[in-house]
Every structure is written in C-alpha cells, then in structure tokens.
Amino acid sequence: MAWLVGIGIFFILLFLFPRPVIGITVLLALGIGAYLFVENENSKKSAKKRASVKLEANYDIKNCDSDYPIFIKISNTSGSTVKSVSFTLAGYRQGHSSPVYESGYSDYTSDRIIENGKGWGNCWRVPKLDYGVPEGFSTQFPAQTMIWKAESIYPTFQ
C-alpha cells in the first residue's frame, strides 16, 4: 500500500514540477544503473577468482589409508592466497548423474593456507550414502568404483 502512495506522490510532483522531477528521476536512474553495473562486474570478478581454485578427488588407497581413502588435491591459481576452502564431496556411478555417496550439507573444510600458484592435497573420509539411497548400495557400489567429484567449492581469501 505504501508503494501506491509513493507512486501517487511521484505523479502529483511530476504534474506540478515536471522539469525538476524528470531531472531527478534521470539522475536517480543513472545512479542506480551505475551501481548495478559495478556490482555485476565485482560479482563476475569474484566468481572468476573462486573458479580458479580447483579441486580433484580420487579414490587412492595407495597413498591414503583405508579410513581416509579419498585423496583431494587443491590447486590455487587465483592470484591471491587461499585461507580456507569448503566443498562437498560426491561419488557417482559411471554413466549416472545422481550420486551414490554425498556429503550433503555437512561439507568438508580445509583450513590449509595455499599461496597463489601452489597446491596441497590430503586424504578424506568417504561421505555417507546420499539421502534416499538404499543401504545395500554401499556393498553393491563400493567407494573404490565411484567417480569422485569435489563440488560446491567455496574458497575464502586472505
């Protein structure tokens, strides 16, 4: 209801003082447009910077122990130092788009500081079966046969 009153007042002022109201409206529109443009550019830069932090996940029992068999390598080419990285981990069957294993809302976090141009790797636990996946899938589709992906990657920078 308040916005209707505001529109009514705008039209009354436009009718009574057309030149100043049109000038102010144009200036406001230009200001809002400039603000939205700058925000959009900042958002693009931020997304590009986040996308330059890459994660690779593999089942690697040779270099990891059986309790933590997923090796995740984090590479930083963002131009800044990474302070921490949060991500989810999912295991997919070959040729399927729904995960068998997934960390879901309980994402994984690494607080390892990684300088630009550097990388770091560590071994992680296999996540639980995805919501709705029958318990028998863990024996039918063991973790070592899955295609592992680190997803929803969100780095924070220093």
- Structural domain boundaries in the chain: 2-49, 53-157
The CATH class of 53-157 is mainly beta
pLDDT in tens, 122-148: 999 988 888 777 777 777 888 888 899
Average pLDDT over the chain reads 89
pTM exceeds 0.85, yes or no: no
pLDDT in tens, 61-73: 898 998 999 999 9
What would the 3-class secondary structure string for the chain be? CHHHHHHHHHHHHHHHCHHHHHHHHHHHHHHHHHHHHHHHHHHHHHHHHHHCEEEEEEECCCCCCCCCCEEEEEEECCCCCEEEEEEEEEEECCCCCCEEEECCCCCEEECCCECCCCEEEEEECCCCECCCCCCCHHHHCCHHHCEEEEEEEEEEEC
